[in-house]
Amino acid sequence: MQIHTLKDIDSVAKAVAEALILCVSNTLQQRDYFSIVLSGGSTPKKLYELLATEEYKNKIDWNKLYIFWGDERFVPFNNERNNAKMAFDTLLNHVPVNREQVYIMQTGNITPEDSTKEYNNLVNHYLENKGVFDFVLLGMGDDGHTLSLFPGNEETIFEEKNQCISLWLPAQNMHRITLTYPPVNNAREIVFMVTGDNKSKVLKQVLQGDYNPLKYPSQIIKPGNGELHWFIDEDAASLLK
């Protein structure tokens, strides 16, 4: 595991953009496809906006990418809380992705159960034919959750039969769809982006406290053969030894 502490969120976004560009270009020298799992929430917005700028957008062969999401709030695509909408608004509408290779978690005219089944099949099909995910981008909540694996939710945190599950999140009065830990832990490169002093307490627990993924679900993320990188800013890192 490598921890990269940068000054602020802009520096974190720049560092992650460069790590992604390097990973994509190295991989596309060996084969003609690359898979990335995008995160939702607010932290990655700066990264997505940066990747869409003139300076960065031509550094990635977008039409070779297969794009997935780590989790989704079960709200319509045009709802501001929808993770896929955020990624399209900030990045995917501005770069030449192949829409046939962009797999959103469906949230319209479908039940959470059916959407989960569909996504499970999509992920299984990709992994069986193309192999593990190349790059998984994750965020972490100030309660230590990642993806939609929330503290105390034993069933979702330790699920390993399915690649994707749905859950009811009472605190937000909504369903969520989320990848489970296995397809993430099998990935080649896993990158957490965590910024802000509101994350400093939980980050200290996650990185330097006892292993307790039921309480701190981000701890369930441990790569098998791949690499795990934490890109954090000084505020989030302020309590680390």
Give the residues lining the site for ligand 6PG (CB under 6 A). 39-43, 70-71, 73, 83, 139-141, 145-147
Q: 27 vs 133, which CB is nearer to ligand 6PG?
A: 133
**Lookup: tokens for 76:** 């319509």
Contact 142, 202 (CB under 8 A): yes
149 burial type by CB count under 10 A (0-12 exposed, 13-18 middle, 19+ buried): buried
Nearest Cα residue to 135 out of 90, 215, 68:
68
Q: How far is the CB of 216 from ligand 6PG (least distance, A)?
A: 13
In the bound state with ligand 6PG, the residue whose beta carbon lies nearer, of 140 and 190, is 140
The least distance separating ligand 6PG from the CB of residue 162, rounded to whole angstroms, comes to 18
Q: How far is the CB of 42 from ligand 6PG (least distance, A)?
A: 4
Nearest residue (CB) to ligand 6PG, 70 versus 226: 70
Q: How far is the CB of 43 from ligand 6PG (least distance, A)?
A: 3
Rg (CA), the chain: 17
Positive or negative torsion for Cα 24, 30, 31, 35: negative
Cα 68 from Cα 76, distance rounded (Å) = 17
Q: Closest CB to ligand 6PG among 41 and 183? A: 41
> 176 vs 188, which CB is nearer to ligand 6PG?
176
Alpha helices in the chain (DSSP H): 9-28, 45-51, 54-57, 83-87, 112-130, 154-157, 181-185, 200-208
- The residue among 74 and 126 lying less far from ligand 6PG, judged by its C-beta, is 74
How many whole angstroms separate alpha carbon 239 and alpha carbon 201? 7
Query: What's the min distance (Å) between Cβ of 186 and ligand 6PG?
Result: 19
Q: How far is the CB of 142 from ligand 6PG (least distance, A)?
A: 7
Residue in 58, 57, 64, 67 with CA at minimum distance from that of residue 31: 64
Q: Would you say 60 and 24 are in contact if contact means Cβ atoms under 8 Å apart?
A: yes
**If residue 225 lies in a helix (H) or strand (E), which one and from where to where?**
none
Q: Tell me which residue has its CB nearest to ligand 6PG.
A: 139
Nearer to ligand 6PG among residue 41 and residue 226 (C-beta): 41
Residue 85 Cβ, how far from ligand 6PG at the closest point, in Å? 12
